[in-house]
Amino acid sequence: MSAPPILDGASHDAPRPAPSLATRLTALASRLMIRRVMAAPTLDLRRVRRAMRARRSLPAFLPRTVAVERSTLGGVAAEWCRPRGADPTRAILYLHGGAYVGGRIEDFRPFTAWLAHRSGIAVCSLAYRLAPEHPFPAALDDALAAVRALRAQGIAPAQLALVGDSAGGGLALATTLALREAGEALPAALAVLSPFTDMAATGGSRRTNAVCDDVLSFRHAETLARWYAGSTPLDAPLLSPVRADLTGFPPTLIHVSDAEMLLDDATRLAERLRAVRVSTMLEVFHGLPHDWHVSVPLTPESREGVRRVGRFLAERLGARA
């Protein structure tokens, strides 16, 4: 069993167990494969995408009770992970990470399959368009189309949750914000993992954790942001949802590590949500690499993280945990 997170109101001063050997090895691999490319003197898009794929090239051990099915949703390529016996009227829409410029849904299949297994709810992973070929608001438009397509298929908002990691977490928040601004019903729950919520990169942890983060680098942060944002200001709420008015948002689970650059993106998001009385659960884990959930089931910390996310979503959507 991995160490529990630091929950709201708990002491941050007590000694925390070190990450497991499996997590330390995956963190080292991420540092060699991804961070080295992200921190190179020149940012090369092809190398960035190749490095992101390499990080997820580990063996994919999927639960036997989950069926994988390729599909489309709102005209966008997608992949369903359906646990045996799942209620067809419930769904989780998953938006993957990758700085809005990389990532393929098949790379995240272990995460979506295990999340489906742990929650008992079908998970749909969306292959939204990537920058810089398709800048803002292409990814947001795809996510909105997917939500509306699910609604047309009979998935009521009260039976839908959005999940995103890293940039996908920011996109899940932006999607919810855009739905609210359009006067549409919001999903029943959000879960954002190591979320990228401040494209303007003003959080202090972007610098204080730059050395210990095994995945991300501050060196080309603005370049990556501009590849997606284009001419839109980086502090626009749909790009940096931590700056938005989040009134009316659904209950939200936030996971983050105290060793990653996006720590402040997550903690400031929790503060903003609570300021407008949104039910918010922030769980800060110790010493783990950015986006550690996607290593499931290879590390105990990723298994525990996915278990917690699955339980939260099952409770909110009324499914088995």
Q: What is the pLDDT of residues 60-110, one digit of tens each?
A: 789 999 999 999 999 999 999 999 999 999 999 999 999 999 999 999 999
Distance CA 312, CA 315 (A): 5
Record the pTM.
0.95
- Annotated catalytic residue, options 290, 295, 302, 304: 290
Q: Is 277 left (phi over 0), alpha (psi -120 to 50) or beta?
A: left
Q: What is the pLDDT of residues 225-283, one digit of tens each?
A: 999 999 999 999 999 999 999 999 999 999 999 999 999 999 999 999 999 999 999 99
Q: What is the pLDDT of residues 116-170, one digit of tens each?
A: 999 999 999 999 999 999 999 999 999 999 999 999 999 999 999 999 999 999 9
Q: What is the pLDDT of residues 202-239, one digit of tens each?
A: 999 999 999 999 999 999 999 999 999 999 999 999 99
Q: What is the pLDDT of residues 7-47, one digit of tens each?
A: 554 445 555 789 999 999 999 999 999 999 999 999 999 99
Instruction: Specify if 240 maps to a domain.
Output: yes
Q: Could you confirm whether 283 is annotated as catalytic?
A: no
Instruction: Specify if 1 maps to a domain.
Output: no
Enumerate the β-bridge partners of residue 299.
Answer: none
CA distances from 317 to 145, 170, 186, 303 (A): 21, 22, 13, 21
Domains held by the chain: number: 1
The residue written with tokens 């009134």 in the block is 247
Predicted confidence (pLDDT) at residue 2 exceeds the cutoff of 70 = no
Strands (E), 166-232: 189-193
Length of the chain: 321
Instruction: Specify if 231 maps to a domain.
Output: yes
Instruction: Specify if 218 maps to a domain.
Output: yes
Q: Could you confirm whether 260 is annotated as catalytic?
A: yes
Q: How many CB atoms lie within 10 A of CB 7?
A: 10
Instruction: Specify if 11 maps to a domain.
Output: no
Distance CA 296, CA 300 (A): 8
The percentage of the chain sitting over the pLDDT mark of 90, rounded to a whole number, equals: 89
pLDDT of the residue at 54 = 79
58: confidence class by pLDDT, cuts 50, 70, 90? low
Instruction: Characterize the bridge pairing of strands 91-95 and 160-165.
Output: parallel
Higher pLDDT, 53 or 251: 251
- Annotated catalytic residue, options 30, 96, 217, 260: 260
Strands of the sheet with 160-165, listed across from one edge: 66-73, 76-83, 123-126, 91-95, 160-165, 189-193, 252-257, 280-285
pLDDT of the residue at 15 = 59
- Annotated catalytic residue, options 2, 166, 295, 302: 166
CA distances from 281 to 60, 164, 245, 248, 274 (A): 29, 15, 18, 16, 10
What's the number of CA atoms in the CB half-sphere (13 Å) around residue 50? 8
pLDDT of the residue at 60 = 73
Of 310, 311, 303, 318, the closest CA to residue 2 belongs to 303
Instruction: Specify if 10 maps to a domain.
Output: no
Distance CA 84, CA 259 (A): 37
* Residue 232 domain boundaries: 21-317
pLDDT of the residue at 17 = 84
pLDDT of the residue at 315 = 97
pLDDT of the residue at 319 = 75
CATH number of domain containing 150: 3.40.50.1820
Q: Could you confirm whether 96 is annotated as catalytic?
A: no
What's the number of CA atoms in the CB half-sphere (13 Å) around residue 283? 20
Instruction: Specify if 35 maps to a domain.
Output: yes
Distance CA 162, CA 252 (A): 10
Higher pLDDT, 55 or 43: 43
Instruction: Specify if 16 maps to a domain.
Output: no
